[in-house]
Amino acid sequence: MPPLTVEGSTPILLFGEQDQMQGEVWLTNTTSADIGLSGGSVLVDFSPPETGTISFPSGAAVPAGATKRLALRMAIRPVASPGNYPATITLDTAAGSQTIAATAVVASVFLPVVGPSKLTFAGVTSSATLNGSVVVRNRGNVPVVVNTIPDETLVEVVILPFVLTIGAGGSVSVEPAPGTSAGGTVTFTNDTPTVDPGDWAQVDFALTTPAGLAADRHFRILPRIASQRFVVDLLT
Q: Which among 67, 74, 75 is positioned nearest to 29, based on CA atoms? A: 67
pLDDT per residue over 116-129, tens digit each? 999 999 999 999 99
* pLDDT bucket at 184, cuts 50 / 70 / 90: confident
Domains of the chain with CATH codes: 5-106 (2.60.40.10), 112-235 (2.60.40)
Backbone angles phi, psi at 170, to 5 degrees: 90, 10
Residues 142, 145, 150: CA angle, nearest 5 degrees: 140
Residues contacting residue 142 through CB under 8 Å, at least 6 positions apart: 82, 108, 109, 110, 197
pLDDT per residue over 49-60, tens digit each? 999 999 999 999
140 close to 161: Cβ distance less than 8 angstroms? no
Residues contacting residue 178 through CB under 8 Å, at least 6 positions apart: 157, 158, 159, 160
| Structure confidence at residue 162 (pLDDT) | 59
Q: Which residues pair with 218 in a beta bridge?
A: 235
pLDDT per residue over 207-226, tens digit each? 999 998 889 999 999 999 99
Element (H, E) at 14: strand 12-17
Average pLDDT, the chain: 92
* pLDDT bucket at 1, cuts 50 / 70 / 90: confident
Its pTM stands at 0.83
76 close to 89: Cβ distance less than 8 angstroms? no
Inform me whether the pLDDT recorded for 82 exceeds 80.
Answer: yes
Torsion angle (degrees, nearest 10) of CA 46, 55, 38, 61: -110
Average pLDDT of span 173-202: 84
Backbone angles phi, psi at 169, to 5 degrees: 80, 5
Average pLDDT of span 38-52: 95
